Structure 1
Amino acid sequence: MTPIRTVLAATDLSGPARNAVVRAASIAQHTGARLTLQHVVSSGALDALRQLFADQPDDLQQRLLDEARDEVHALAAELCAPHVASADIHLSAGSVLADIASHADALDADLLVLGAHGASLVRDLMIGSTTERVLRKTRRPLLVVRRGARHGYRRVLIPVDFSPRSLKAIRMTLELAPRAEITLLHAFEVPFEGLLRHSGVNEEALASLHANARREATAQMAELIAAAGLQDEAVQQIVVHGEASVHILDQEQLQGCELIVIGKRGLGMLEELLLGSVTKHILTQARGDVLVIDHA
Protein backbone atom coordinates (compact mmCIF):
# COMPACT_ATOMS: atom_id res chain seq x y z
CA MET A 1 0.00 0.00 0.00
CA THR A 2 0.93 3.66 -0.39
CA PRO A 3 0.77 5.23 3.09
CA ILE A 4 -0.89 8.63 3.41
CA ARG A 5 0.99 10.45 6.16
CA THR A 6 0.37 14.12 5.32
CA VAL A 7 -2.78 15.69 3.83
CA LEU A 8 -2.82 19.29 2.63
CA ALA A 9 -6.23 20.90 2.07
CA ALA A 10 -6.10 24.25 0.28
CA THR A 11 -9.18 26.39 0.88
CA ASP A 12 -10.30 29.76 -0.45
CA LEU A 13 -12.87 29.95 2.40
CA SER A 14 -15.78 29.70 -0.03
CA GLY A 15 -18.84 27.56 0.67
CA PRO A 16 -17.98 24.84 -1.87
CA ALA A 17 -14.45 24.55 -0.47
CA ARG A 18 -15.93 23.37 2.85
CA ASN A 19 -16.62 19.97 1.28
CA ALA A 20 -12.92 19.60 0.50
CA VAL A 21 -11.93 20.45 4.08
CA VAL A 22 -14.35 17.90 5.52
CA ARG A 23 -13.16 15.22 3.11
CA ALA A 24 -9.52 15.96 3.92
CA ALA A 25 -10.25 15.75 7.66
CA SER A 26 -12.10 12.46 7.19
CA ILE A 27 -9.18 11.00 5.23
CA ALA A 28 -6.70 12.19 7.87
CA GLN A 29 -8.83 10.55 10.54
CA HIS A 30 -8.94 7.06 9.05
CA THR A 31 -5.36 7.07 7.74
CA GLY A 32 -3.81 8.68 10.84
CA ALA A 33 -2.28 11.38 8.62
CA ARG A 34 -1.23 14.87 9.66
CA LEU A 35 -3.66 17.48 8.33
CA THR A 36 -2.75 21.00 7.24
CA LEU A 37 -5.20 23.68 6.09
CA GLN A 38 -3.76 26.27 3.73
CA HIS A 39 -5.18 29.60 2.63
CA VAL A 40 -3.42 31.96 0.24
CA VAL A 41 -4.42 35.62 0.00
CA SER A 42 -4.05 36.25 -3.71
CA SER A 43 -1.56 38.99 -4.53
CA GLY A 44 -3.57 39.69 -7.67
CA ALA A 45 -6.71 40.25 -5.61
CA LEU A 46 -4.75 42.52 -3.26
CA ASP A 47 -3.53 44.62 -6.17
CA ALA A 48 -7.08 44.91 -7.52
CA LEU A 49 -8.29 46.00 -4.07
CA ARG A 50 -5.60 48.69 -3.84
CA GLN A 51 -6.72 50.13 -7.17
CA LEU A 52 -10.30 50.39 -5.94
CA PHE A 53 -9.43 52.44 -2.88
CA ALA A 54 -7.49 55.70 -3.17
CA ASP A 55 -6.75 55.80 0.55
CA GLN A 56 -5.97 52.54 2.27
CA PRO A 57 -4.22 51.58 5.50
CA ASP A 58 -0.54 50.69 5.23
CA ASP A 59 -1.19 47.42 7.00
CA LEU A 60 -3.96 46.30 4.62
CA GLN A 61 -2.25 43.03 3.76
CA GLN A 62 -1.61 42.17 7.39
CA ARG A 63 -5.21 42.96 8.30
CA LEU A 64 -6.47 40.64 5.57
CA LEU A 65 -4.09 37.89 6.69
CA ASP A 66 -5.25 38.27 10.28
CA GLU A 67 -8.88 38.10 9.21
CA ALA A 68 -8.18 35.06 7.05
CA ARG A 69 -6.33 33.37 9.92
CA ASP A 70 -9.35 33.81 12.18
CA GLU A 71 -11.62 32.34 9.49
CA VAL A 72 -9.35 29.34 8.89
CA HIS A 73 -9.11 28.63 12.63
CA ALA A 74 -12.91 28.83 12.88
CA LEU A 75 -13.17 26.49 9.88
CA ALA A 76 -10.81 24.02 11.52
CA ALA A 77 -12.77 24.12 14.78
CA GLU A 78 -16.08 23.59 13.00
CA LEU A 79 -15.20 21.06 10.30
CA CYS A 80 -11.99 19.32 11.34
CA ALA A 81 -12.38 18.92 15.10
CA PRO A 82 -14.98 16.12 14.77
CA HIS A 83 -12.43 14.10 12.80
CA VAL A 84 -8.91 14.99 14.00
CA ALA A 85 -7.46 16.30 17.26
CA SER A 86 -5.83 19.26 15.54
CA ALA A 87 -5.03 20.70 12.14
CA ASP A 88 -2.03 22.83 11.26
CA ILE A 89 -2.77 26.22 9.69
CA HIS A 90 -0.66 27.84 6.97
CA LEU A 91 -1.39 31.31 5.57
CA SER A 92 0.49 33.37 3.01
CA ALA A 93 0.04 36.16 0.48
CA GLY A 94 1.21 35.60 -3.07
CA SER A 95 0.48 33.46 -6.11
CA VAL A 96 -2.19 30.95 -5.13
CA LEU A 97 -1.03 28.21 -7.47
CA ALA A 98 2.68 28.59 -6.75
CA ASP A 99 2.18 28.83 -2.98
CA ILE A 100 0.02 25.70 -2.89
CA ALA A 101 2.55 23.71 -4.91
CA SER A 102 5.55 24.94 -2.93
CA HIS A 103 3.92 24.27 0.45
CA ALA A 104 2.88 20.78 -0.69
CA ASP A 105 6.55 20.16 -1.47
CA ALA A 106 7.68 21.65 1.83
CA LEU A 107 5.34 19.29 3.70
CA ASP A 108 6.13 16.38 1.39
CA ALA A 109 2.35 16.01 1.23
CA ASP A 110 1.07 12.60 0.19
CA LEU A 111 -2.29 14.05 -0.82
CA LEU A 112 -3.38 17.53 -1.92
CA VAL A 113 -7.11 18.28 -1.62
CA LEU A 114 -8.97 21.07 -3.44
CA GLY A 115 -12.61 21.99 -3.87
CA ALA A 116 -14.02 21.77 -7.38
CA HIS A 117 -15.32 25.34 -7.31
CA GLY A 118 -13.75 28.43 -5.83
CA ALA A 119 -15.03 31.78 -4.66
CA SER A 120 -16.57 34.02 -7.28
CA LEU A 121 -13.96 36.77 -6.90
CA VAL A 122 -10.91 34.56 -6.56
CA ARG A 123 -11.00 31.97 -9.31
CA ASP A 124 -7.58 30.45 -8.74
CA LEU A 125 -9.02 27.21 -7.31
CA MET A 126 -11.85 26.71 -9.80
CA ILE A 127 -12.08 23.59 -11.91
CA GLY A 128 -10.86 23.92 -15.50
CA SER A 129 -7.73 25.63 -16.76
CA THR A 130 -6.51 26.61 -13.28
CA THR A 131 -6.86 23.10 -11.90
CA GLU A 132 -4.81 22.01 -14.88
CA ARG A 133 -2.17 24.56 -13.90
CA VAL A 134 -2.13 23.22 -10.32
CA LEU A 135 -1.56 19.74 -11.71
CA ARG A 136 1.24 21.00 -13.92
CA LYS A 137 2.95 22.58 -10.93
CA THR A 138 2.86 19.50 -8.71
CA ARG A 139 3.38 15.77 -9.03
CA ARG A 140 1.48 15.20 -5.79
CA PRO A 141 -1.76 13.22 -5.95
CA LEU A 142 -4.57 15.77 -6.20
CA LEU A 143 -8.10 15.06 -4.96
CA VAL A 144 -10.74 17.36 -6.47
CA VAL A 145 -13.82 17.32 -4.24
CA ARG A 146 -17.36 18.02 -5.43
CA ARG A 147 -19.52 16.21 -2.90
CA GLY A 148 -19.94 16.39 0.84
CA ALA A 149 -18.11 13.76 2.89
CA ARG A 150 -20.96 12.13 4.80
CA HIS A 151 -19.11 8.80 4.77
CA GLY A 152 -16.00 7.20 3.31
CA TYR A 153 -15.87 6.34 -0.37
CA ARG A 154 -17.95 3.20 -0.99
CA ARG A 155 -17.63 2.78 -4.78
CA VAL A 156 -14.47 3.70 -6.67
CA LEU A 157 -13.84 3.58 -10.42
CA ILE A 158 -10.23 3.25 -11.61
CA PRO A 159 -9.64 3.65 -15.37
CA VAL A 160 -6.41 1.75 -16.14
CA ASP A 161 -3.99 1.83 -19.06
CA PHE A 162 -1.57 -0.74 -17.57
CA SER A 163 1.16 1.88 -17.12
CA PRO A 164 2.91 2.23 -13.71
CA ARG A 165 0.19 4.74 -12.79
CA SER A 166 -2.43 2.00 -12.88
CA LEU A 167 -0.75 0.02 -10.12
CA LYS A 168 -0.17 3.17 -8.08
CA ALA A 169 -3.84 4.11 -8.50
CA ILE A 170 -4.97 0.76 -7.10
CA ARG A 171 -2.59 0.93 -4.15
CA MET A 172 -3.57 4.47 -3.26
CA THR A 173 -7.26 3.58 -3.52
CA LEU A 174 -6.74 0.72 -1.05
CA GLU A 175 -5.20 3.20 1.38
CA LEU A 176 -7.77 5.92 0.76
CA ALA A 177 -10.87 3.72 0.67
CA PRO A 178 -10.01 0.27 2.04
CA ARG A 179 -13.64 -0.89 2.23
CA ALA A 180 -14.79 0.43 -1.13
CA GLU A 181 -16.08 -1.64 -4.03
CA ILE A 182 -13.50 -1.18 -6.78
CA THR A 183 -14.13 -1.31 -10.53
CA LEU A 184 -11.19 -1.44 -12.93
CA LEU A 185 -12.06 -0.14 -16.39
CA HIS A 186 -9.94 -0.42 -19.52
CA ALA A 187 -11.24 1.06 -22.77
CA PHE A 188 -9.30 -0.02 -25.85
CA GLU A 189 -9.27 1.23 -29.40
CA VAL A 190 -7.64 -0.33 -32.45
CA PRO A 191 -4.98 2.07 -33.82
CA PHE A 192 -6.07 3.79 -37.04
CA GLU A 193 -9.42 1.98 -36.96
CA GLY A 194 -11.17 4.76 -38.85
CA LEU A 195 -8.52 4.79 -41.57
CA LEU A 196 -8.64 1.01 -41.85
CA ARG A 197 -12.41 1.06 -42.30
CA HIS A 198 -12.15 3.92 -44.79
CA SER A 199 -9.51 2.05 -46.79
CA GLY A 200 -11.82 -0.90 -47.25
CA VAL A 201 -10.89 -3.29 -44.45
CA ASN A 202 -14.05 -5.36 -43.90
CA GLU A 203 -15.97 -5.64 -40.63
CA GLU A 204 -14.95 -9.26 -40.10
CA ALA A 205 -11.27 -8.30 -40.14
CA LEU A 206 -11.94 -5.39 -37.79
CA ALA A 207 -13.88 -7.68 -35.46
CA SER A 208 -10.84 -9.97 -35.34
CA LEU A 209 -8.63 -7.01 -34.42
CA HIS A 210 -11.09 -6.09 -31.66
CA ALA A 211 -11.03 -9.65 -30.32
CA ASN A 212 -7.24 -9.71 -30.25
CA ALA A 213 -7.07 -6.33 -28.49
CA ARG A 214 -9.66 -7.45 -25.95
CA ARG A 215 -7.80 -10.69 -25.30
CA GLU A 216 -4.52 -8.83 -24.73
CA ALA A 217 -6.17 -6.25 -22.45
CA THR A 218 -7.86 -8.99 -20.41
CA ALA A 219 -4.51 -10.70 -19.87
CA GLN A 220 -2.92 -7.39 -18.83
CA MET A 221 -5.81 -6.77 -16.44
CA ALA A 222 -5.13 -10.12 -14.74
CA GLU A 223 -1.44 -9.26 -14.42
CA LEU A 224 -2.28 -5.85 -12.91
CA ILE A 225 -4.63 -7.37 -10.34
CA ALA A 226 -2.01 -9.95 -9.35
CA ALA A 227 0.67 -7.25 -9.05
CA ALA A 228 -1.65 -5.30 -6.72
CA GLY A 229 -2.02 -8.38 -4.52
CA LEU A 230 -5.75 -8.62 -5.11
CA GLN A 231 -7.97 -11.59 -5.86
CA ASP A 232 -9.98 -11.55 -9.10
CA GLU A 233 -13.24 -11.64 -7.18
CA ALA A 234 -12.23 -8.60 -5.10
CA VAL A 235 -12.67 -6.19 -8.01
CA GLN A 236 -15.05 -5.77 -10.90
CA GLN A 237 -13.24 -5.84 -14.24
CA ILE A 238 -14.52 -4.11 -17.36
CA VAL A 239 -12.73 -4.29 -20.71
CA VAL A 240 -14.62 -2.43 -23.41
CA HIS A 241 -14.03 -1.05 -26.88
CA GLY A 242 -14.44 2.65 -27.49
CA GLU A 243 -13.51 6.12 -26.28
CA ALA A 244 -12.24 6.03 -22.71
CA SER A 245 -13.84 9.25 -21.44
CA VAL A 246 -17.30 8.18 -22.62
CA HIS A 247 -17.10 4.80 -20.89
CA ILE A 248 -15.64 6.31 -17.70
CA LEU A 249 -18.52 8.76 -17.31
CA ASP A 250 -21.07 6.10 -18.23
CA GLN A 251 -19.74 3.68 -15.61
CA GLU A 252 -19.59 6.44 -12.99
CA GLN A 253 -23.32 6.89 -13.40
CA LEU A 254 -24.29 3.24 -13.87
CA GLN A 255 -22.47 2.10 -10.74
CA GLY A 256 -22.98 5.17 -8.61
CA CYS A 257 -19.24 5.68 -8.13
CA GLU A 258 -18.33 8.42 -5.70
CA LEU A 259 -14.67 8.64 -6.71
CA ILE A 260 -12.74 8.26 -9.95
CA VAL A 261 -8.99 7.62 -9.64
CA ILE A 262 -7.21 8.49 -12.87
CA GLY A 263 -3.68 9.04 -14.16
CA LYS A 264 -2.40 12.51 -14.81
CA ARG A 265 -1.11 11.88 -18.32
CA GLY A 266 -1.52 9.48 -21.19
CA LEU A 267 1.18 7.19 -22.46
CA GLY A 268 2.31 9.29 -25.42
CA MET A 269 5.56 11.25 -25.29
CA LEU A 270 3.76 14.38 -26.47
CA GLU A 271 1.69 14.33 -23.27
CA GLU A 272 4.72 14.37 -20.96
CA LEU A 273 4.25 18.07 -20.20
CA LEU A 274 0.49 18.15 -20.64
CA LEU A 275 -2.52 16.94 -18.77
CA GLY A 276 -4.00 14.03 -20.71
CA SER A 277 -7.11 14.92 -22.72
CA VAL A 278 -9.13 12.13 -21.08
CA THR A 279 -8.13 13.37 -17.62
CA LYS A 280 -9.13 16.94 -18.48
CA HIS A 281 -12.50 15.74 -19.73
CA ILE A 282 -13.15 13.69 -16.61
CA LEU A 283 -12.16 16.58 -14.33
CA THR A 284 -14.73 18.86 -15.94
CA GLN A 285 -17.55 16.36 -16.53
CA ALA A 286 -17.49 13.90 -13.61
CA ARG A 287 -20.26 14.29 -11.05
CA GLY A 288 -18.30 12.86 -8.16
CA ASP A 289 -14.81 13.42 -6.77
CA VAL A 290 -11.72 12.83 -8.90
CA LEU A 291 -8.28 11.81 -7.68
CA VAL A 292 -5.50 12.52 -10.19
CA ILE A 293 -2.21 10.73 -9.68
CA ASP A 294 1.18 10.65 -11.33
CA HIS A 295 3.49 7.65 -11.55
CA ALA A 296 6.46 9.47 -10.01
Structure 2
Amino acid sequence: MQTILVAVDPQHDAGQVLARAAQLSAQHGAAVTVQHVVEDIDVGQQDVQRAIDQHARATLEGLVGAAGFATTPSLKVQFGVPHRCVNTIARELSADIILIGPGQPTTVMQRVFGSTADRIVRTASVPVLIVRNNSAQAYRSVAVAMDFSPLSEAALEAARMLAPDARIDLVHAYEVPLPFEQAMLRAGTRPEDAERFRQTKINDCRHQLADFARKHSTEADAVVLRGAPGTALVELSRSGRVDVIALGTQGRNEVAQALLGSVARRLLSEAGCDLLVAGHARH
Protein backbone atom coordinates (compact mmCIF):
# COMPACT_ATOMS: atom_id res chain seq x y z
CA MET A 1 0.00 0.00 0.00
CA GLN A 2 1.61 3.24 -1.16
CA THR A 3 -1.15 5.83 -1.42
CA ILE A 4 -4.12 6.43 0.90
CA LEU A 5 -7.00 8.77 0.19
CA VAL A 6 -9.00 9.87 3.22
CA ALA A 7 -12.38 11.47 2.54
CA VAL A 8 -13.70 13.19 5.64
CA ASP A 9 -16.59 15.29 6.83
CA PRO A 10 -15.14 17.40 9.68
CA GLN A 11 -18.51 17.25 11.46
CA HIS A 12 -18.82 13.45 11.48
CA ASP A 13 -16.26 10.83 12.56
CA ALA A 14 -13.27 12.68 11.08
CA GLY A 15 -11.06 12.13 14.12
CA GLN A 16 -11.33 8.35 14.14
CA VAL A 17 -10.91 8.09 10.36
CA LEU A 18 -7.76 10.24 10.44
CA ALA A 19 -6.34 8.30 13.39
CA ARG A 20 -6.71 5.07 11.42
CA ALA A 21 -5.13 6.72 8.38
CA ALA A 22 -2.16 7.79 10.50
CA GLN A 23 -1.72 4.22 11.78
CA LEU A 24 -1.90 2.72 8.30
CA SER A 25 0.45 5.35 6.89
CA ALA A 26 3.04 4.54 9.54
CA GLN A 27 2.62 0.78 9.07
CA HIS A 28 2.91 0.83 5.29
CA GLY A 29 5.03 3.94 4.73
CA ALA A 30 2.18 5.27 2.60
CA ALA A 31 1.53 8.83 1.45
CA VAL A 32 -1.80 10.28 2.57
CA THR A 33 -4.14 12.80 0.97
CA VAL A 34 -7.01 14.15 3.07
CA GLN A 35 -10.00 15.37 1.09
CA HIS A 36 -13.15 17.26 2.07
CA VAL A 37 -15.91 17.94 -0.44
CA VAL A 38 -18.31 20.83 0.11
CA GLU A 39 -21.74 20.39 -1.45
CA ASP A 40 -24.36 22.85 -2.71
CA ILE A 41 -22.16 25.90 -3.22
CA ASP A 42 -22.84 28.35 -6.05
CA VAL A 43 -19.45 28.49 -7.77
CA GLY A 44 -20.29 32.01 -8.93
CA GLN A 45 -20.04 33.30 -5.37
CA GLN A 46 -16.27 33.50 -5.36
CA ASP A 47 -15.91 35.36 -2.07
CA VAL A 48 -18.14 32.89 -0.25
CA GLN A 49 -16.35 29.95 -1.82
CA ARG A 50 -12.94 31.38 -0.87
CA ALA A 51 -14.03 31.91 2.73
CA ILE A 52 -15.45 28.39 2.99
CA ASP A 53 -12.29 26.95 1.45
CA GLN A 54 -10.09 28.75 3.97
CA HIS A 55 -12.27 27.69 6.89
CA ALA A 56 -12.36 24.06 5.72
CA ARG A 57 -8.58 23.96 5.27
CA ALA A 58 -8.01 25.39 8.73
CA THR A 59 -10.37 22.81 10.20
CA LEU A 60 -8.63 19.98 8.35
CA GLU A 61 -5.22 21.20 9.48
CA GLY A 62 -6.37 21.07 13.09
CA LEU A 63 -7.82 17.57 12.72
CA VAL A 64 -4.75 16.28 10.90
CA GLY A 65 -2.46 17.76 13.55
CA ALA A 66 -4.38 15.96 16.30
CA ALA A 67 -4.20 12.62 14.46
CA GLY A 68 -0.43 12.28 14.89
CA PHE A 69 0.74 11.66 11.33
CA ALA A 70 4.46 10.97 11.02
CA THR A 71 4.45 12.77 7.64
CA THR A 72 2.03 15.63 7.04
CA PRO A 73 -0.68 14.64 4.54
CA SER A 74 -1.67 16.68 1.51
CA LEU A 75 -4.99 18.50 1.88
CA LYS A 76 -7.69 18.96 -0.76
CA VAL A 77 -10.89 20.99 -0.40
CA GLN A 78 -13.29 20.71 -3.32
CA PHE A 79 -16.79 21.80 -4.25
CA GLY A 80 -19.13 19.35 -5.93
CA VAL A 81 -20.81 15.97 -5.60
CA PRO A 82 -18.88 14.09 -2.88
CA HIS A 83 -18.71 10.56 -4.30
CA ARG A 84 -17.78 11.83 -7.76
CA CYS A 85 -15.02 14.08 -6.41
CA VAL A 86 -13.67 11.28 -4.21
CA ASN A 87 -13.51 8.83 -7.09
CA THR A 88 -11.88 11.38 -9.38
CA ILE A 89 -9.12 12.14 -6.88
CA ALA A 90 -8.64 8.43 -6.15
CA ARG A 91 -7.98 7.84 -9.86
CA GLU A 92 -5.68 10.86 -10.18
CA LEU A 93 -3.61 9.72 -7.19
CA SER A 94 -3.70 6.04 -8.19
CA ALA A 95 -4.82 5.50 -4.60
CA ASP A 96 -4.62 1.97 -3.21
CA ILE A 97 -7.46 2.50 -0.76
CA ILE A 98 -10.08 5.06 0.29
CA LEU A 99 -10.87 5.66 3.96
CA ILE A 100 -14.24 7.08 5.00
CA GLY A 101 -16.52 7.20 8.02
CA PRO A 102 -19.79 5.24 8.06
CA GLY A 103 -22.00 8.27 7.49
CA GLN A 104 -25.70 8.30 8.18
CA PRO A 105 -28.54 8.96 5.72
CA THR A 106 -30.20 12.22 6.76
CA THR A 107 -32.87 12.69 4.10
CA VAL A 108 -35.60 10.56 2.59
CA MET A 109 -33.69 10.47 -0.72
CA GLN A 110 -30.55 9.21 1.04
CA ARG A 111 -32.54 6.53 2.84
CA VAL A 112 -33.89 5.30 -0.49
CA PHE A 113 -30.85 5.72 -2.73
CA GLY A 114 -28.07 5.56 -0.15
CA SER A 115 -25.90 7.95 1.81
CA THR A 116 -22.64 9.43 0.56
CA ALA A 117 -20.84 6.47 2.14
CA ASP A 118 -23.10 4.07 0.20
CA ARG A 119 -22.35 5.86 -3.04
CA ILE A 120 -18.60 5.92 -2.51
CA VAL A 121 -18.59 2.20 -1.68
CA ARG A 122 -20.63 1.14 -4.69
CA THR A 123 -18.79 3.31 -7.26
CA ALA A 124 -15.17 3.22 -6.05
CA SER A 125 -12.56 1.60 -8.28
CA VAL A 126 -10.38 0.66 -5.26
CA PRO A 127 -11.14 -0.95 -1.89
CA VAL A 128 -12.92 1.27 0.63
CA LEU A 129 -12.27 1.05 4.37
CA ILE A 130 -15.20 2.26 6.47
CA VAL A 131 -13.82 3.24 9.88
CA ARG A 132 -16.44 2.67 12.56
CA ASN A 133 -14.31 2.30 15.71
CA ASN A 134 -12.17 4.76 17.64
CA SER A 135 -9.28 2.35 18.18
CA ALA A 136 -6.27 3.03 15.98
CA GLN A 137 -4.24 0.00 17.03
CA ALA A 138 -2.92 -2.09 14.16
CA TYR A 139 -5.47 -4.60 12.93
CA ARG A 140 -4.88 -8.06 14.39
CA SER A 141 -7.87 -10.04 13.12
CA VAL A 142 -9.67 -9.82 9.77
CA ALA A 143 -12.68 -11.90 8.72
CA VAL A 144 -13.15 -12.22 4.96
CA ALA A 145 -16.79 -12.90 4.07
CA MET A 146 -16.87 -15.60 1.41
CA ASP A 147 -19.43 -16.45 -1.26
CA PHE A 148 -16.85 -18.23 -3.48
CA SER A 149 -17.22 -15.68 -6.27
CA PRO A 150 -14.45 -13.53 -7.84
CA LEU A 151 -15.50 -10.84 -5.38
CA SER A 152 -14.38 -13.12 -2.55
CA GLU A 153 -10.95 -13.11 -4.16
CA ALA A 154 -11.04 -9.31 -4.31
CA ALA A 155 -11.96 -9.14 -0.61
CA LEU A 156 -9.12 -11.48 0.36
CA GLU A 157 -6.64 -9.52 -1.75
CA ALA A 158 -7.78 -6.26 -0.14
CA ALA A 159 -7.50 -7.76 3.36
CA ARG A 160 -3.94 -8.90 2.71
CA MET A 161 -3.03 -5.45 1.44
CA LEU A 162 -4.62 -3.69 4.40
CA ALA A 163 -3.37 -5.91 7.23
CA PRO A 164 -0.55 -8.20 6.05
CA ASP A 165 0.35 -9.21 9.61
CA ALA A 166 -3.18 -9.88 10.86
CA ARG A 167 -4.83 -13.26 11.37
CA ILE A 168 -7.28 -13.89 8.55
CA ASP A 169 -10.40 -16.03 8.84
CA LEU A 170 -12.40 -17.07 5.78
CA VAL A 171 -16.04 -16.84 6.87
CA HIS A 172 -19.11 -18.25 5.16
CA ALA A 173 -22.65 -17.99 6.50
CA TYR A 174 -24.92 -20.93 5.76
CA GLU A 175 -28.65 -21.23 6.25
CA VAL A 176 -30.87 -24.05 4.96
CA PRO A 177 -33.23 -22.38 2.44
CA LEU A 178 -36.65 -21.97 4.04
CA PRO A 179 -38.60 -23.72 1.23
CA PHE A 180 -36.29 -26.73 1.52
CA GLU A 181 -36.65 -26.84 5.31
CA GLN A 182 -40.42 -26.63 4.98
CA ALA A 183 -40.35 -29.44 2.43
CA MET A 184 -38.39 -31.63 4.87
CA LEU A 185 -40.96 -30.95 7.57
CA ARG A 186 -43.84 -31.83 5.26
CA ALA A 187 -42.06 -35.05 4.30
CA GLY A 188 -41.87 -36.01 7.95
CA THR A 189 -38.09 -35.69 8.27
CA ARG A 190 -36.99 -36.39 11.82
CA PRO A 191 -35.28 -33.49 13.67
CA GLU A 192 -32.07 -35.50 14.04
CA ASP A 193 -32.01 -36.21 10.30
CA ALA A 194 -32.58 -32.54 9.51
CA GLU A 195 -29.73 -31.61 11.84
CA ARG A 196 -27.52 -34.22 10.20
CA PHE A 197 -28.29 -32.65 6.83
CA ARG A 198 -27.36 -29.19 8.14
CA GLN A 199 -24.09 -30.49 9.56
CA THR A 200 -23.23 -32.18 6.27
CA LYS A 201 -23.78 -28.91 4.39
CA ILE A 202 -21.68 -27.01 6.94
CA ASN A 203 -18.84 -29.53 6.54
CA ASP A 204 -19.10 -29.09 2.77
CA CYS A 205 -18.72 -25.33 3.25
CA ARG A 206 -15.65 -25.86 5.42
CA HIS A 207 -14.08 -28.01 2.71
CA GLN A 208 -14.81 -25.32 0.12
CA LEU A 209 -13.20 -22.69 2.34
CA ALA A 210 -10.14 -24.89 2.87
CA ASP A 211 -9.85 -25.45 -0.89
CA PHE A 212 -10.13 -21.69 -1.48
CA ALA A 213 -7.38 -21.06 1.09
CA ARG A 214 -5.06 -23.58 -0.57
CA LYS A 215 -5.76 -22.13 -4.02
CA HIS A 216 -4.82 -18.67 -2.81
CA SER A 217 -1.83 -19.77 -0.71
CA THR A 218 -3.17 -18.47 2.57
CA GLU A 219 -3.11 -20.08 5.99
CA ALA A 220 -6.45 -18.51 6.87
CA ASP A 221 -8.77 -20.49 9.11
CA ALA A 222 -12.17 -21.61 7.82
CA VAL A 223 -15.22 -20.51 9.82
CA VAL A 224 -18.82 -21.39 8.97
CA LEU A 225 -21.54 -19.35 10.64
CA ARG A 226 -25.13 -20.51 10.93
CA GLY A 227 -27.76 -18.10 9.73
CA ALA A 228 -28.52 -15.62 6.99
CA PRO A 229 -25.36 -13.81 5.82
CA GLY A 230 -26.48 -10.33 6.86
CA THR A 231 -27.53 -11.36 10.37
CA ALA A 232 -24.59 -13.70 10.95
CA LEU A 233 -22.00 -11.14 9.81
CA VAL A 234 -23.52 -8.33 11.88
CA GLU A 235 -23.38 -10.60 14.94
CA LEU A 236 -19.74 -11.48 14.19
CA SER A 237 -18.88 -7.79 13.79
CA ARG A 238 -20.27 -7.09 17.25
CA SER A 239 -18.67 -10.09 18.95
CA GLY A 240 -15.31 -8.46 19.59
CA ARG A 241 -13.53 -11.36 17.86
CA VAL A 242 -12.57 -9.44 14.72
CA ASP A 243 -11.24 -5.95 14.02
CA VAL A 244 -12.35 -5.81 10.37
CA ILE A 245 -14.77 -7.64 8.11
CA ALA A 246 -13.75 -7.66 4.45
CA LEU A 247 -16.32 -8.39 1.78
CA GLY A 248 -16.96 -7.95 -1.89
CA THR A 249 -19.85 -5.94 -3.17
CA GLN A 250 -21.58 -6.18 -6.51
CA GLY A 251 -19.66 -5.61 -9.75
CA ARG A 252 -19.34 -2.28 -11.49
CA ASN A 253 -22.36 -2.51 -13.80
CA GLU A 254 -25.44 -0.30 -13.92
CA VAL A 255 -27.43 -2.47 -11.53
CA ALA A 256 -24.61 -2.51 -8.99
CA GLN A 257 -24.23 1.25 -9.15
CA ALA A 258 -27.95 1.70 -8.58
CA LEU A 259 -28.19 -0.56 -5.55
CA LEU A 260 -25.58 -1.57 -3.00
CA GLY A 261 -25.81 -5.27 -2.14
CA SER A 262 -28.15 -5.92 0.77
CA VAL A 263 -25.51 -7.60 2.95
CA ALA A 264 -23.00 -4.79 2.36
CA ARG A 265 -25.60 -2.12 3.04
CA ARG A 266 -26.74 -3.80 6.25
CA LEU A 267 -23.17 -4.06 7.50
CA LEU A 268 -22.54 -0.45 6.54
CA SER A 269 -25.35 0.65 8.85
CA GLU A 270 -25.20 -1.96 11.63
CA ALA A 271 -21.67 -3.38 11.91
CA GLY A 272 -19.80 -3.16 15.19
CA CYS A 273 -16.33 -3.15 13.62
CA ASP A 274 -14.54 -1.59 10.66
CA LEU A 275 -15.44 -2.77 7.15
CA LEU A 276 -13.32 -3.27 4.07
CA VAL A 277 -15.31 -3.40 0.85
CA ALA A 278 -13.79 -4.48 -2.45
CA GLY A 279 -15.69 -4.21 -5.72
CA HIS A 280 -13.35 -6.07 -8.04
CA ALA A 281 -10.02 -7.84 -8.07
CA ARG A 282 -7.02 -5.63 -8.77
CA HIS A 283 -4.36 -6.73 -11.26
**If the TM-score is normalised by the length of the shorter chain, which range does it land in?**
0.7 to 0.9
Are the equivalent residues in 2 in contact too, given 1:6–1:33 (CA < 8 A)? yes
Are the equivalent residues in 1 in contact too, given 2:210–2:222 (CA < 8 A)? no
Are the equivalent residues in 2 in contact too, given 1:156–1:181 (CA < 8 A)? yes
Query: 1:175 maps to which residue?
Result: 161
Structure 1 residues 130 and 194, CA gap change in structure 2 (3 angstroms) = farther
Cα deviation, residue 144, structure 1:
0.9
Structure 1 residues 99 and 186, CA gap change in structure 2 (3 angstroms) = same
Question: Is 1:217 paired with 2:205?
Answer: yes
Are the equivalent residues in 2 in contact too, given 1:157–1:261 (CA < 8 A)? yes
Query: 2:180 maps to which residue?
Result: 193
3-state secondary structure, aligned to 1:254? coil
Are the equivalent residues in 2 in contact too, given 1:7–1:109 (CA < 8 A)? yes
In structure 2, what is the Cα distance between the partners aligned to 1:210 and 1:68? 55
Q: TM-score, length-normalised on structure 1?
A: 0.80
Q: Which amino acid aligns with 1:162?
A: F
Unaligned runs of 5+ in 1: 51-56
Deviations 1:93-135 (A, max 9, x none): 11122111221122221111111247989x99xxx53322222
Cα deviation, residue 209, structure 1:
4.5
3-state secondary structure, aligned to 1:257? coil
Unaligned runs of 5+ in 2: none
Structure 1 residues 132 and 226, CA gap change in structure 2 (3 angstroms) = same
Query: 2:19 maps to which residue?
Result: 22
Identity across the alignment (%):
28
Are the equivalent residues in 1 in contact too, given 2:142–2:168 (CA < 8 A)? yes
Structure 1 residues 58 and 245, CA gap change in structure 2 (3 angstroms) = closer
Question: Is 1:158 paired with 2:155?
Answer: no
Are the equivalent residues in 2 in contact too, given 1:24–1:35 (CA < 8 A)? yes
Are the equivalent residues in 2 in contact too, given 1:160–1:184 (CA < 8 A)? yes
Are the equivalent residues in 1 in contact too, given 2:103–2:116 (CA < 8 A)? no
Are the equivalent residues in 2 in contact too, given 1:35–1:87 (CA < 8 A)? yes
Structure 1 residues 92 and 201, CA gap change in structure 2 (3 angstroms) = farther
Matches within 5 A, 1:248-267: 248-265=233-250
Cα deviation, residue 216, structure 1:
2.7
3-state secondary structure, aligned to 1:61? helix
Q: Which amino acid aligns with 2:29?
A: G
Given candidates 216, 237, 261, the residue that maps to 1:276 is 261
Cα deviation, residue 5, structure 1:
1.8
Query: 1:54 maps to which residue?
Result: none
In structure 2, what is the Cα distance between the partners aligned to 1:174 and 1:27? 13
Cα deviation, residue 249, structure 1:
2.3
Given candidates 2, 12, 36, the residue that maps to 1:5 is 2
* Number of residue pairs matched by the alignment: 273
In structure 1, what is the Cα distance between the partners aligned to 2:56 and 2:12? 14
Are the equivalent residues in 1 in contact too, given 2:158–2:278 (CA < 8 A)? no
Given candidates 223, 226, 235, the residue that maps to 1:241 is 226
Structure 1 residues 270 and 58, CA gap change in structure 2 (3 angstroms) = closer
Deviates more, 1:235-244 or 1:16-25: 235-244
Structure 1 residues 10 and 195, CA gap change in structure 2 (3 angstroms) = same
Query: 1:139 maps to which residue?
Result: 125
